[in-house]
Chain A
Amino acid sequence: MGMKEMMEKLREASIRAILESEDVDSLEALRVKYLGKKGELTGILRQMGRLSAEERPVMGQFANKLREDIEKAIDARREVLAAALMENKLRAEAVDVTLPATDTRLGHKHPMYNVLDQIKDIFIGMGFEILDGNEVELADYNFTKLNIEDSHPSREWTDTFYFTEDSKILLRTQTSPMQVHAMETKSLPIRMIAPGRVYRKDEVDATHSPMFHQIEGMVIDKGVTMADLKATLNLVVEKIYGEGTVTRFRPHHFPFTEPSAELDIRCHKCGGKGCPTCKGEGWIEVLGCGMVHPKVLAGCGIDPDVYSGWAFGMGLERLAMGEYKISDLRLIFENDERFLEQF
């Protein structure tokens, strides 16, 4: 057998043995067996001396290539064996992924404030600032300066909470006094919303609470029109209720706006055909609005011949209840953990 044949034979045997080896230790033994100092390849190469000068470099090259190939085969096999080893180890480490997680808890924003924050963001995007105001208020701001006459029923002690016998200090019944505060203290133009707590003498039931929340909004500038009111509030309503929401403006009455309107949206449940959600009307009332009454402007020291404005007010509870399908107002103020964690 020539030297080349011997090497070919060795290649065949070694590669097979390497591929059949089952663990890293036996692989190492094979490396020693074939490539070690006393290994089989070395044994073959010892016979190099017998070769002619022409054959020697050819065989040398052949031997080097063989060594390289065996080494590669060993490395490749080692990787395969290592991967298999790792695989087995990982399988042994497997966990039951359906077991409960380690306790990680994030708190929840109150659902009503979720909705409020959404609305704040919409208005901020339109250049509005947000005003906070006091809830213990003068009747002057809650009523008189809003063009609400002295004999108006909402001033009755059956409707409004009072702190003084002369009916001068009260818990605000609406966020509208913030219109007056803004006009008296802010420089023009004004674009503001003022969310907050308001109070009326209503017994607690599924739709009433003596304390609830409103969002007031107002714009005062030169050349502000009802067309601007419509454009802005349409946009807001689309942001809240989704694109394509159909609105209608309907005449209404508020002492501090003239003309006054209510904004309805077409019932999203029935598409306007009439259903229990919209009480058969096909429309759902969303907010009240109107052009700031020139008397109110003048009373706050703003010249109604130069400036005009519009304002709106909406109830936050009803909005949140609609958004999250909360059926009972009492849940909002009950603060049951099982309720809060749903949002």
Chain B
Amino acid sequence: MKCSRKWLNEFVDLPISEVGDRAFAEAMSVSGSKVESTDDLSLTMKNVKVGRVVSIERHPDSDHMWVCQVDIGDRTVQICTGAQNVRQGDLVPTALDGSLLPGGIEIKAKPLRGVESDGMLCSFKELGATQHDFPYAIENGILILQGDYKPGDDMAVKMGLDDHVVDFEITPNRPDCLCMIGLAREAAVTFGKELKLHEPVVEAKAEGNIADTAKIIIEDADLCPRYTARMVKNVKIAPSPEWMKERIRNAGMRPINNIVDITNYVMMEYGQPMHAFDFACVGDGEIHVRRAREGEFIRTLDGTERNLTTDMLCICDTEKPVAVAGVMGGENSEIVGDTAMVLFESACFNGPSVRRTATALGMRTDASSRFEKGLDAQNTLKAVERACELIELLGAGEVVPGVIDVVPNPIKETTVLLEPDKINALLGTEIDASTMKKILTDLGFTFDGDLIHVPSWRGDVEHYSDIAEEVARFYGYNEIPTKFTGAISTCGGFTPMQQCERRIGEVLRSLGLDEIITYSFISPSYYDKIRMPADSPLRDSLKILNPLGEDTSIMRTTVLPSMLEILTRNYNFRNKAAFLYEIGKIYLKRDDGLADEPKIVSIGMFGPDMDFFKLKGIVETAVSLITGKEMRFAAEQENPSYHPGRCARVYVGDECVGVFGQIHPMVASNYGVDTELYCAELSFDVLFANRRELPVYRPLPKFPTVSRDIAVVCSKDIPVGDLVSCIMKNGGSFLKGCSVFDVYTGHHIADGLKSVAFSLTMRADDRTMTDVDADSTVKSALSALKASYNAVMR
């Protein structure tokens, strides 16, 4: 919302010279009308004076240029011009040496073909104006001024640029502040000044009465709480006076003609959007406010044909729509040069309905953006009166006596009880009731004892907490004490689950992985990319019905595509390696329509030294640090996203923590990656359920350990992990550990067999072990290997 300080001054005495931009912005912002920026318009045009052409003669060295002597009030300057429309005695805008024109153009004195020129004569374009601002001027020539101008006048002042325009960010609950009067009320209370409002007076000297010619029927009262109209006869379309054009311009709109300008002016002054119909085009003189009928359409003022739907409110005559209510008028009833009778509409429409219509038609207008926030139904009459007053003031036509004002249902008034104790308890203040009453009264609230009558324009106030906010705003948010209420009776902290998640992050980072954050939604096609079976239940994802695009249209049921996308991106960025993790959610459909959202520890890696066992080391270390439990690995050949020979499931006890391994080369190639990618997907819930308890100290061994190496030959297909388990299970009580140090096939080993070498660590807890003890341990290990796997000592 753009607000001219000069215009504002008409309502509240706040001259810029007394209240500077910063002070104004600060005070208004902390009372609730946030100032986004302030524009000093005078900075856009400087040192451009009105001049009178005293004499004009041909340039001695040019056949198209002229040399003018121009009286600029205190002196006469010489200016050369190439324009052909300047005559002796003309009043012209003269940009002097060192002047500044809109767009940042600087004008300097300099000789033109040998003749000194002290500046430049300007066209209206060069002054940043349009044909509407100077309708009498020609487009391609110097602006020959008409009207109240004399030599020496500052053009910036004459054009209303001696103004500062403040841009406010108005919150959606305060549509009453989208106009000068609303902002003036806020400013008046903020600065403790009087609010000077004007009651419009309409003489209405024309003959007859509006009721004789026009009829208004509200058919859909749910969308139109009030429709007020007045009529103007013998309309004379003409440009608006300078002061009106100035204000319209400074508020960021373009002046058009007196009738259109009056509707815009009243909208900016009262916040009430208005529409002017050429009444001759309203069939049978009847206005019907109704929803559009099936198949109806309208060509709006912007020249676009628009199909209407049956939920859109329209202003119609007996046959056809002549306007989309609250959004835009129709071309069929547009004010044109020969319009003689104008019907001014000042109505109140249902906000959400206007918003939806404007959105559906793709045209958010100044009017619709106000209506959509819900306007004051009590404002329509005052606004239409003001419009008619301006008609008479400008001599733009004759106002017909009478007003049509249709209010289908009584307009409710809101009352709230003033409860100072409750307000102080909420704010933590000790504001007395009289201060509260003063603030509220200044804002237009009225009192009936302790009963507060909320003014009609404050639809946002309905509760004592709203009253508290009004009081607080002008008492000052920053005057409210800064004071802790009392003792804190809660104990903050992380839950065990949050601690576990933090720990997993710490462990993975200490293993060299960087944390990533990926989108929760993916494309359904990503399931194909990771070769998820067509019948997999994981393909049954929650679908967003109105996604931004295919790529973000379903909630992921697996983190794999997200990780692969990031690995691919890093690969495409030519990063040599990427070691990544995310603790991210997947979203599993539930019967009630919501989702289970378990967390998955997702790991992704590629790089020059990567292989399956490096990833296994990371998974193993992480799972072991988190759970502190025995782990088991089993080959996984059925997961189509992974390399069938380089993928494993990891178990803690009987529970599967997850899967990890090399990504299937076909999946990698689906992502356009020709290096080996490694991923792991571990269930956070399983890790958490098996999280490490508080460790209990185990006494350090008192007796030395003994180590023996053995090597066995067995079938190639037997997993080494099974052999290790077998040894540990059968080795007896001395056996403390078994590690694999060599696996060998080839020379000296028959086809289909392999040699595996183990190092056994043994220790007795109560004495120093003997060779006999060690021999018996090795023996039982070997015999178990033989019995279970036909593995024989090499």
Task: Spell out A's residues near B (CB within 8 Å).
Answer: 105-110, 112-113, 120, 123-130, 132, 134-138, 151, 153, 156-158, 161-165, 168-169, 171, 189-191, 197, 199, 201, 203, 210-211, 221, 223-228, 230-232, 234, 248-253, 258-262, 279-283, 291, 293-295, 308, 332-338, 340-341
A-B contact pairs, 20 of them (CB 8 A): A105-B579, A107-B579, A113-B515, A127-B492, A134-B595, A135-B597, A136-B594, A136-B595, A151-B352, A157-B545, A201-B546, A203-B548, A228-B484, A232-B484, A234-B482, A250-B32, A250-B477, A251-B32, A251-B477, A338-B575
Q: Mark B193-221, 1 if CB is under 8 A from A, else 0.
A: 00000000000000000000000000000
CA distance A171 to B480 in the complex (A): 37
Determine the chain B residues whose CB is within 8 A of the CB of A109 once the complex forms.
505, 509, 515
Query: Quick one: which of B593-646 are within 8 Å of A by CB?
Result: 593-595, 597
* CB–CB A258/B469 < 8 A: yes
The one of A124, A251, A259 in contact with B427, judged by C-beta atoms closer than 8 angstroms, is A259
The one of A130, A210, A232, A258 in contact with B468, judged by C-beta atoms closer than 8 angstroms, is A258
Task: Spell out B's residues near A (CB within 8 Å).
Answer: 22, 25, 29-32, 34-37, 171-174, 351-352, 355-356, 359, 372, 425-429, 460, 463-466, 468-469, 472-473, 477-478, 480-486, 488-495, 498, 505, 508-521, 542-548, 552, 555, 566, 569-570, 573, 575, 577-581, 585, 587, 593-595, 597
Known contacts A108-B509, A251-B473; is A225 also within 8 Å of B425 by CB? yes
Determine the chain A residues whose CB is within 8 A of the CB of B516 once the complex forms.
110, 335, 340
Determine the chain A residues whose CB is within 8 A of the CB of B510 once the complex forms.
106-107
Chain B residue with minimal CB distance to A257?
B465
* CB–CB A253/B486 < 8 A: no
Determine the chain A residues whose CB is within 8 A of the CB of B595 once the complex forms.
134-136
Most chain B Cβ neighbours within 10 Å, of A226, A282, A338: A226
* CB–CB A134/B425 < 8 A: no
* CB–CB B517/A112 < 8 A: yes
Chain A residue with minimal CB distance to B517?
A110
* CB–CB B509/A335 < 8 A: no
Chain A residue with minimal CB distance to B31?
A251
CA distance A293 to B513 in the complex (A): 44
CA distance A338 to B569 in the complex (A): 12
Known contacts A130-B498, A336-B569; is A136 also within 8 Å of B542 by CB? yes
* CB–CB A171/B494 < 8 A: no
* CB–CB B573/A338 < 8 A: yes
**Cβ of A234 to closest chain B Cβ, rounded Å:** 6
The one of A136, A157, A333 in contact with B518, judged by C-beta atoms closer than 8 angstroms, is A333
Determine the chain B residues whose CB is within 8 A of the CB of A332 once the complex forms.
517
CA distance A337 to B512 in the complex (A): 12
* CB–CB A227/B480 < 8 A: yes
**Cβ of A115 to closest chain B Cβ, rounded Å:** 12
* CB–CB A227/B575 < 8 A: no
CA distance A189 to B488 in the complex (A): 9
Determine the chain B residues whose CB is within 8 A of the CB of A165 once the complex forms.
545
Determine the chain A residues whose CB is within 8 A of the CB of B483 once the complex forms.
225, 227-228, 230-231
Known contacts A130-B494, A253-B173, A332-B517; is A189 also within 8 Å of B37 by CB? no
Determine the chain B residues whose CB is within 8 A of the CB of A335 once the complex forms.
516-518, 566, 569-570, 580
CA distance A145 to B428 in the complex (A): 26
CA distance A106 to B513 in the complex (A): 7
**Cβ of B427 to closest chain A Cβ, rounded Å:** 5
The one of A106, A110, A231, A295 in contact with B512, judged by C-beta atoms closer than 8 angstroms, is A106
* CB–CB B512/A105 < 8 A: yes
Knowing that A153-B172, A163-B545 are A-B contacts, what are 15 other residue pairs whose CB atoms are under 8 Å apart, sorted by A's residue number? Answer: A106-B509, A107-B513, A108-B514, A109-B515, A127-B489, A136-B595, A210-B521, A211-B521, A225-B485, A227-B482, A251-B31, A253-B171, A259-B427, A335-B569, A337-B578
CA distance A210 to B552 in the complex (A): 9
CA distance A210 to B553 in the complex (A): 11
Chain B residue with minimal CB distance to A163?
B542
Determine the chain A residues whose CB is within 8 A of the CB of B473 once the complex forms.
251, 259
Determine the chain B residues whose CB is within 8 A of the CB of A110 once the complex forms.
514-517
**Which 6 A-B residue pairs are closest in the complex by CB-CB distance?**
A227-B428, A225-B428, A251-B32, A151-B352, A259-B469, A107-B509
**Cβ of A256 to closest chain B Cβ, rounded Å:** 11
**Cβ of B361 to closest chain A Cβ, rounded Å:** 13
Most chain B Cβ neighbours within 10 Å, of A112, A171, A279, A280: A171
CA distance A281 to B552 in the complex (A): 37
The one of A127, A163, A258, A259 in contact with B490, judged by C-beta atoms closer than 8 angstroms, is A127
Determine the chain B residues whose CB is within 8 A of the CB of A120 once the complex forms.
494
* CB–CB B472/A107 < 8 A: no
Chain A residue with minimal CB distance to B609?
A103
Known contacts A197-B520, A336-B569; is A259 also within 8 Å of B543 by CB? no
* CB–CB A231/B469 < 8 A: no
* CB–CB B355/A153 < 8 A: yes
CA distance A262 to B481 in the complex (A): 16
Determine the chain A residues whose CB is within 8 A of the CB of B543 once the complex forms.
163
Chain A residue with minimal CB distance to B563?
A335
Determine the chain B residues whose CB is within 8 A of the CB of A261 once the complex forms.
477
Most chain B Cβ neighbours within 10 Å, of A203, A224, A279: A224
* CB–CB B492/A223 < 8 A: no
* CB–CB A129/B520 < 8 A: no
* CB–CB B428/A228 < 8 A: yes
CA distance A282 to B517 in the complex (A): 33
* CB–CB A223/B486 < 8 A: yes
Chain A residue with minimal CB distance to B429?
A227
* CB–CB B481/A169 < 8 A: no
Determine the chain B residues whose CB is within 8 A of the CB of A130 once the complex forms.
494-495, 498
